[in-house]
Structure 1
Amino acid sequence: MLSYRHGYHAGNYADVLKHAILLQVLKSMHKKNKPLAYIDTHAGAGGYALTDEFAQKTGEYLEGVAKIWDKDDLPESLQQYIEDVKHFNQGKSELSFYPGSPGFVDMNMRDKDRMVLHELHGTDHALLDEQLGSDKQVRVIKADGLKGLLGAVPPLERRGLVLIDPSYEMKTDYQDVPNAIIKAYKRFSTGVYILWYPVVKRAQTEEMLKMLIGSGIKRQLRIEQAVKADSDEFGMTAAGLWIINPPWQLDETATEMLDYLSPLLNQGGGKITVKWEVGE
């Protein structure tokens, strides 16, 4: 249950989309000069060395962030993302480190903002706590993030961004995740919820998403990048973000972003999808 380590996958094509969109959502929410709570249910280690055995074993970052690391024609929607990755690498020319979601948020936090980070894996929790635990604006919790989510909403700030990014190691995640989101939404209906999902078996993923579609929750946006055609073979062929209450024009921003990324990251037979699955 706790064997998953994101270090194997840090900086892959799914991370590029997830973190670039996360930053765009933060940017939009920061337009209001009001406090914001960021709640992460599966925070990971906070940052990753791409030179370590995890990243080198899979080399997934080579088909992700490395593809755009040195590009000088990035659309505006990707510029902040690469700037933050370079800042995390301390401005060095070689790509050696990659921030996790809490790392990206930490680089863009205002004094009035707050983070609540859940991580159950012992080693990753210790690394996360070492990196961010001493910050008074950050709370690092060693706990099941789906259960912790219900205790974290509604935040005192009444403005919140929730990232749900499970490993989907357990088959029950495909039911537990939408159920947790639906329960959290009932407590905090004005929050922005970002669910990351993989496509390994398309039918399994779609059954999970149908639970959200049929929940009665309005304003649900799908942003998905497939780098290969759907397949019954082992391995992820696509990854996406399912966003409830997305900021205004995020669909247009995501389309611009994916139009740029797709030719670079497509491994053959892939496609991009930006679609309102549930409207107002």
Structure 2
Amino acid sequence: MLSYQHGYHAGNFADVHKHLILSMMLQSLTRKDKPLSYLETHSGRAMYDLSDEQAQKNQEFQSGISKLWQAGLKGTEVYCEAVTAQNTSGELAFYPGSPSLAQHFARANDKLMLMELHPQESQVLKRHFRQDSRVAVHQRDGYEGVLAMLPPKPNRGMVLIDPAYEDKSEYDQVVAFIKRAKQLWPNGSYAIWYPLLEANRWKSMKHKLQRTSIRNILCSEIEINPADAGGMYGSGMLMVNPPWPLEDNIRATMPGVLSTLAEGAAVDRLEWLAPE
């Protein structure tokens, strides 16, 4: 399905949760002086103009990145610096999507391979990166495209799996994808984002992953609103082969993030879905 447009939700609380953890992972992976590969199944566009019609419709960024960016919380510096790099005027005018965050952390010998099936989003993505030889943009199915490139060269790095979950079958697709990807690239790190919705299909996805042979799966979930509030009330991230010291960083940082973002009671969970 190609109707989803992330521009309406850019910079919301789920983006903050997802991209903060992504930034932590990329920071950890780039500590070693060895090149890495970064791959995405659903890239979207690289940059979101927060003044455009989509972002302004619901202004979800106001309760997400806008709050965090001004808070100056310990542990969020690297993520907020990546956002600041796109807002040199000192005002929050643009929000970097995950491809731009990956580009921010990428070094000279790193490689970025981005999949985006939506024709318009793919063209925007290609224009954005046209002068960066480290980045390859592919207009193709993300699951098929990433699997075709595994194991990548360089043979260390990570994959971000970030679908819209418009179709309920997407949850099973994610499980099937990660099982196959782990076979092809066992030493890669993987990050899977998912929305917390009242239908609870995300719980089934987690249970199915637990029943696979895949180990070393860390799970971070936040709940900003009550589960019966309607719509997305929380955000989840599964990290397979998480780089050190990701667990410690999330545990130290996420409570402060939630106290900044949530207006009422909030829930922060960090647990091993499948220990090593």
Offset of residue 94 of structure 1: 1.6
Name the counterpart of 2:240.
Answer: 244
| Deviations 1:152-202, CA, capped at 9 Å, x for gaps | 211121102100000001111011111111111011111000000001135
- Distance, in Å, in 2 between the alignment partners of 1:199 and 1:100 is 20
Name the counterpart of 2:55.
Answer: 55
SS at match of 2:207: helix
Name the counterpart of 2:92.
Answer: 95
| Deviations 1:85-143, CA, capped at 9 Å, x for gaps | 11111x21221100000101111110110000000111111110000133211110001
Give the 5 Å matches for 1:157-196. Answer: 157-196=154-193
- Distance, in Å, in 2 between the alignment partners of 1:107 and 1:153 is 23
Offset of residue 30 of structure 1: 1.2
Offset of residue 270 of structure 1: 2.5
Name the counterpart of 2:6.
Answer: 6
- Distance, in Å, in 1 between the alignment partners of 2:267 and 2:48 is 28
- Distance, in Å, in 2 between the alignment partners of 1:159 and 1:202 is 36
Instruction: Give yes or no for contact 2:41–2:142 (8 Å, CA) kept in 1.
Output: yes
Structure 1: where are the runs of 5+ without partners?
Answer: none
With 254-263 and 189-198 compared, the bigger mean Cα shift is at: 254-263
Name the counterpart of 1:151.
Answer: 148
- Distance, in Å, in 2 between the alignment partners of 1:16 and 1:174 is 22
Instruction: Give yes or no for contact 1:133–1:140 (8 Å, CA) kept in 2.
Output: no
With 219-228 and 127-136 compared, the bigger mean Cα shift is at: 127-136
Name the counterpart of 1:277.
Answer: 273
TM-score, reference length from structure 2: 0.97
Percent identity, please.
38
Which letter maps to 2:84? K
TM-score, reference length from structure 1: 0.95
Q: What do you get for the CA RMSD once the two structures are aligned?
A: 1.2
SS at match of 2:20: helix
SS at match of 1:14: helix
Give the 5 Å matches for 1:1-280. Answer: 1-72=1-72, 74-75=73-74, 77-89=75-87, 91-201=88-198, 203-231=200-228, 234-280=230-276
- Distance, in Å, in 1 between the alignment partners of 2:45 and 2:200 is 30
Instruction: Give yes or no for contact 2:28–2:245 (8 Å, CA) kept in 1.
Output: no
Instruction: Give yes or no for contact 2:168–2:201 (8 Å, CA) kept in 1.
Output: no
- Distance, in Å, in 1 between the alignment partners of 2:263 and 2:2 is 30
Offset of residue 245 of structure 1: 0.3
| Deviations 1:1-23, CA, capped at 9 Å, x for gaps | 10101101110111111111111
Instruction: Give yes or no for contact 1:40–1:117 (8 Å, CA) kept in 2.
Output: yes
- Distance, in Å, in 1 between the alignment partners of 2:266 and 2:225 is 4
- Distance, in Å, in 2 between the alignment partners of 1:274 and 1:202 is 21
Q: After TM superposition, where is structure 1 displaced by more than 3 Å over at least 4 residues in a row?
A: none
Which letter maps to 1:82? C
SS at match of 1:69: helix
Number of corresponding residues: 276
- Distance, in Å, in 2 between the alignment partners of 1:29 and 1:249 is 10
Offset of residue 225 of structure 1: 1.0
SS at match of 2:76: helix
- Distance, in Å, in 2 between the alignment partners of 1:268 and 1:189 is 41
Which letter maps to 1:250? L
SS at match of 1:68: helix
